[in-house]
């Protein structure tokens, strides 16, 4: 499939985004798509963003968290700001879309829509600057390294949330039509912890298994046993996953392995379930090791927490979507999403909401994110920019109207 190089105007998704603003977003998105950059390498992307922000009269700050960019839009009043966030990095995937602006970087592709998120946020800045100043300052956050789940924590460490009261962001989604926004209270992305299990057996000759302790056999039993955690220990109404992705053992067909190593991921929407999965994995591993006389060592690499939209923030995001797009364009998420998103790290510090922008592309509906053939409809750019601008204004009105401080709101 090859996309039409001339996209439908923004008016095709019922927004009031001017066609010239939409055209500039498309141009930026396609330039970023053609020249994608991996996590922590987004130097040209950051330069392009800074150039666009400077064109709008802003004073971008570059080099934040390595390759991030931030800029502040002044508000009518000083005080706590509203933040809008976009991620910028691509993936180590060779593109197979056939798009006229396909990646020209071998083995690297914007296979998750971050090029679109970046262009949306630049568009939102242009919309905010075109009218009256927003009620309170708006901070634009262009984040590196979301795909490694390390960009957001580092930006927090470098103070991008200082003086910020709320944060909003979103992601293109092929499950919803262009022009739609899906907004849901509660968990919308899962936690993303990794585990490693090392099994220490006793090697030997394949012809004399009774003289050895086969780490492969123990590992196979462990893989099977781990599947009972979700099916038998977790409430079926609580989405969770335990997946073993790697199994490394053995050196020759006639040698019984003395060591095996398993690697995998555990995911959950609820923090208590997340901890329960970890405990169960350790317990079952220990029991199987004792049963077979093998030493088993379990270690974890903690990833992002779940993204949890509070009811209050989801309602604010929904009100902005109704105002910007109309009630008929606002949806609830129809499916559980077990993918991770380091936007959660921002939400550990301040309230906010993460939404989905409809981007279903005709003929590419079956290609998921992180696929070499992933595509989305560029009309989502208008939807995302319009919603971001509106939620920044409405959140600012709420903040200034209630006289809340960032600290007070975060504690409420």
Residues forming the active site: 89, 146
Q: CA 339 → CA 37, 342, 353, distances in Å?
A: 21, 10, 16
DSSP secondary structure code for residue 193 in this structure: E
For every residue of 105-170, DSSP letters joined together read: STT-B--SSHHHHHHHHHHHHHHHHHSSPPSS-EEEEEES-TTTT-HHHHHHHTTTTTTEEEEEEE
Which token pair is 275? 């901890």
| CA neighbor of 117 nearest in space, from 94, 89, 147, 145 | 89
For every residue of 294-357, DSSP letters joined together read: -EEEEEEE--PPPEEE-HHHHHHHHHHHHHHH-GGGEE---S------THHHHHTTS-EEEEEE
Per DSSP, the three-state class of 103 is coil
φ, ψ of residue 115 in degrees (nearest 5) = -60, -40
DSSP secondary structure code for residue 80 in this structure: S
Rg of the chain over CA atoms, in angstroms? 24
Q: CA 137 → CA 74, 78, 116, distances in Å?
A: 5, 7, 24
CA distance 138 to 134: 7
Which token pair is 25? 């977003």
DSSP secondary structure code for residue 176 in this structure: S
Q: CA 310 → CA 53, 78, 315, 316, 407, distances in Å?
A: 31, 26, 9, 10, 16
CA distance 90 to 37: 5
Instruction: Using DSSP bridges, classify how beta strands 240-249 and 259-268 pair: parallel, antiparallel or unpaired.
Output: antiparallel
């Amino acid at each position: 499939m090859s996309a039409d190089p001339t996209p439908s105007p923004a008016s095709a998704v019922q927004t009031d985004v001017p066609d010239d603003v939409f055209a500039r977003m498309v141009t930026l998105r396609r330039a970023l798509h053609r020249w994608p950059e991996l996590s922590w390498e987004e130097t040209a992307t950051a330069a392009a963003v800074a150039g666009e922000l400077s064109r709008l009269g802003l004073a971008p700050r570059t080099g934040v968290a390595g390759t991030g960019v931030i800029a502040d839009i002044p508000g009518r009043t000083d005080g706590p700001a509203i933040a809008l966030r976009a991620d910028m990095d691509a993936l180590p995937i060779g593109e197979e879309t056939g798009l006229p602006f396909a990646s020209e970087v071998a083995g690297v592709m914007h296979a998750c829509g971050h090029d679109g998120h970046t262009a949306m946020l630049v568009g939102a800045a242009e919309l905010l600057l075109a009218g009256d100043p927003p009620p309170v300052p708006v901070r634009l956050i262009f984040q590196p390294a979301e795909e490694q789940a390390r960009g957001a924590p580092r930006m927090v460490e470098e103070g991008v949330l200082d003086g910020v009261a709320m944060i909003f962001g979103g992601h293109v989604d092929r499950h919803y039509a262009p022009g739609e926004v899906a907004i849901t209270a509660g968990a919308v992305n899962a936690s993303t912890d990794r585990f490693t299990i090392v099994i220490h057996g006793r090697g030997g000759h394949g012809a004399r298994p009774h003289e050895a302790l086969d780490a492969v056999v123990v590992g196979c039993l462990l893989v099977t046993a781990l599947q009972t955690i979700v099916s038998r220990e977790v409430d079926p109404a609580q989405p969770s996953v335990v997946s073993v992705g790697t199994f490394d053992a053995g050196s020759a067909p006639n040698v019984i392995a003395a060591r095996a190593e398993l690697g995998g991921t555990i995911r959950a929407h609820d923090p208590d379930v997340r901890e329960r999965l970890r405990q169960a994995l350790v317990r079952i591993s220990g029991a199987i090791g004792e049963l077979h006389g093998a030493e088993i060592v379990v270690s974890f690499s903690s990833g992002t927490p779940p993204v949890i939209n509070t009811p209050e923030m989801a309602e604010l995001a929904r009100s902005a979507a109704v105002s910007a797009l109309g009630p008929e364009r606002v949806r609830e998420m129809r499916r559980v999403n077990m993918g991770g998103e380091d936007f959660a790290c921002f939400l550990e510090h301040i309230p906010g909401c993460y939404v989905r922008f409809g981007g279903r592309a005709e003929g590419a509906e079956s290609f998921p994110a992180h696929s070499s053939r992933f595509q989305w409809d560029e009309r989502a750019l208008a939807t995302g920019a319009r919603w971001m601008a509106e939620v920044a204004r409405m959140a600012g009105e709420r903040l200034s109207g209630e006289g809340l401080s960032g600290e007070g709101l975060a504690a409420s």
